[in-house]
Amino acid sequence: MFKAIAGFALGFILALCACSRQKTLTTDEIRSQLLSAKSLAAETEMFLDYVRENRATKHYAQGHIEYLTEEIERSREELQESSPAQGEEDAVRKLRTQFDALQAELHSIRGKLDDEAALAAAKEHLASIRQALDEANSSI
Amino acid sequence: MKNILGITLGIMTALGGFVDLGQIVFTTQAGALFGYQLMWAIALGTAAIIIYMEMCGRVAVVAKEPVFAVVHTRLGKKLGLAALIASNLLNLITCAAEIGGIAILLHLLTGWPEKLLLVATTLALGMMVLLFRFQWIERTLGLSGLMMIVFAVSAVTLHPDWGQLAHGLIPKVSEPDTKHTLLYWYFAVGIFSAMLMEYEVHFYSSGAIEEDWTPKDLAENFMVAALGSLLGSLLTVGLLALGVILFLPRAIFPQTLSTAVFSGAFPFAQKALIAAIAGCLACLAGATVETALSGGYNVCQFFNLKWGKNVPPKSAPVFTGTWVAMFTLAMVIALTGVRPLQLVNISIVFGMVVMPFTYYPVLRTASDKNVMGKHVNRKFDDVIGGIVLVFVIIAALAAIPLMVLTHSGRP
């Protein structure tokens, strides 16, 4: 029984290691972070359209933007605590810049979810962030 | 009428069991990444859970042995105890994840602070379990979970490609590169595992005894297992389709529960969004109650102690103490701020690892003529049950390596 429990515990630890942060970012991990940032930007764009069409309740819109912001902050922190593999410094720098821009955008629209002009402007900014991320991805 | 209300056990088990937090996000992600390619995993999971649930119900009714009594008898004390500890750890983690998910949904609905909602949710569900009879818990949560149908309606309204959807029933062996192949199999194992979550069958077999089913109810047992699971499966297909239609073309990989929720109401107005949130709330509440009660059922059945929701709490102190402890510990874990989706990922993967240790004893018992008499498995049942066992073992062996290699399914 001890062996069975020890095996299960070892598996748990391995799982936690898999979820834990990496110290050095490989090219694959940078690409994965880029995809994640791009996905968050695209999702926010899609959601802003949903809000503009008045299909989200006020609390839902506020809450969802909070959760998206949390996701962005988590990825941003993960990125800041890691160092890029040799030769990938430029891509990581671009990625950090875009995460910062994404975070700033979400912070700024949090209080303006009923302001049509602000939402339209935010959508444009998000599209340009997505484009910059595409460029960074192709440079890896 | 009794038959119709009896189905609510199957509906609550299936909705709370496999349309829970993990399945809602996991399946939407799978659709966003692989289109309809993982439809086969849903079909396989549905077949497996119907077989497993039906056998568990039949063994519970005929032999009066719910899952962990069978595990004790067939695996022996030592290995059985290891399975019990592992299962209850997973129940605890899942319970914490579901409570965290409920707090998120209530925050989206009301805007109130999440931590306050977390405590209030735990207290409300705890009181519900304490005060309601078993049948009323299942009816309340099972029937309110039907609001999840809004997800299937949304998916149909958005015109899924039915040809592609049917084509997804044929498994694809490999993807363009190793990374995508690993991810594909991680999500396949994850969907299969999320549909076979341990606690749902523990809850179902105990529920059959709580509801005083007799061998006369065995036809109903099959109907309840099949209809409940098919309904859950239909909603799971709806979630996959929403992932394909809404997120795949936009290269979105949904990472939050709130994203999956708004996909369920996407083509409609605010009322549908509220219905989608309410449906998810009922499913997650069902899963929370199932995991907490399963904790109590498992311990008491393994050690042959008095248990049951319909007996006075004081006359089953270990049972009552265990489910209260499950709720309390789960709330404490959720209050630490750990992300519910991280917890549920762990429980889905490790649930698969533990699965053979409960599935195999149930299959053995269902095939034992000395125990089951004329209700023993037919040859056909044994063959199908054996095939499912092979899939369960393969998935159990692959689950942890795939989790490590894909960094928990990160694209």
Q: Mean pLDDT, to the nearest integer, of B9-34?
A: 81
CATH number at residue A31: 1.20.120
Show the domain range for A51. 2-138
CATH number at residue B380: 1.20.1740.10
pLDDT for the residue B14: 61
Q: Mean pLDDT, to the nearest integer, of A58-70?
A: 96
Q: Mean pLDDT, to the nearest integer, of B73-91?
A: 95
Q: Mean pLDDT, to the nearest integer, of B154-165?
A: 97
From A43, which residue of chain B is nearest by alpha-carbon distance? B252
Give B104-147 pLDDT, tens digit per residue.
999 999 999 999 999 999 999 999 999 999 888 888 888 888 89
Contact between chains at A36 and B255 (C-beta distance less than 8 A): yes
Q: Mean pLDDT, to the nearest integer, of B283-289?
A: 94
User: What SS3 string covers chain B?
Assistant: CHHHHHHHHHHHHHHHHHCCHHHHHHHHHHHHHHCCCCHHHHHHHHHHHHHHHHHHHHHHHHHCCCHHHHHHHHHHHHHHHHHHHHHHHHHHHHHHHHHHHHHHHHHHHHCCCHHHHHHHHHHHHHHHHHHCCHHHHHHHHHHHHHHHHHHHHHHHHCCCCHHHHHHCCCCCCCCCCHHHHHHHHHHHHHHHHHHCCHHHHHHHHHHHHHCCCCHHHHHHHHHHHHHHHHHHHHHHHHHHHHHHHHHCCCCCCCCCHHHHHHHCCCCCCHHHHHHHHHHHHHHHHHHHHHHHHHHHHHHHHHCCCCCCCCCCHHHCHHHHHHHHHHHHHHHHHHHCCCCHHHHHHHHHHHHHHHHHHHHHHHHHHHCCHHHHHHHCCCHHHHHHHHHHHHHHHHHHHHHHHHHHHCCCCCC
Q: What pTM value is reported for the model?
A: 0.92
Give B217-255 pLDDT, tens digit per residue.
898 888 888 888 898 899 999 999 999 999 999 999 999
Contact between chains at A62 and B111 (C-beta distance less than 8 A): yes
Global ipTM: 0.90
Cα–Cα distance for residue pair A24/B7, rounded to 1 Å: 53
Give B29-49 pLDDT, tens digit per residue.
999 999 999 999 999 999 999
The fraction of chain B above a pLDDT of 70, given in percent, is 95
Q: Mean pLDDT, to the nearest integer, of B263-278?
A: 94
* pLDDT greater than 70 at residue B17: no
From B351, which residue of chain A is nearest by alpha-carbon distance? A8
Shortest CA gap A32–chain B (Å): 6
Mean pLDDT of chain B: 92
Q: Mean pLDDT, to the nearest integer, of B144-158?
A: 93
Confidence of residue B13 (pLDDT cuts 50, 70, 90): low
* pLDDT greater than 70 at residue B4: no
Contact between chains at A11 and B353 (C-beta distance less than 8 A): yes
* pLDDT greater than 70 at residue A10: no
Task: Count structural domains, chain B.
Answer: 1
Task: Count structural domains, chain A.
Answer: 1
B317, part of any domain? yes
Confidence of residue A120 (pLDDT cuts 50, 70, 90): very high
Residues 236-265 of B with CB under 8 A from A: 246-247, 250-259, 262, 265
The fraction of chain A above a pLDDT of 90, given in percent, is 56
pLDDT for the residue B307: 96
Contact between chains at B270 and A55 (C-beta distance less than 8 A): yes
Cα–Cα distance for residue pair B80/B82, rounded to 1 Å: 5
Cα–Cα distance for residue pair A36/B254, rounded to 1 Å: 9
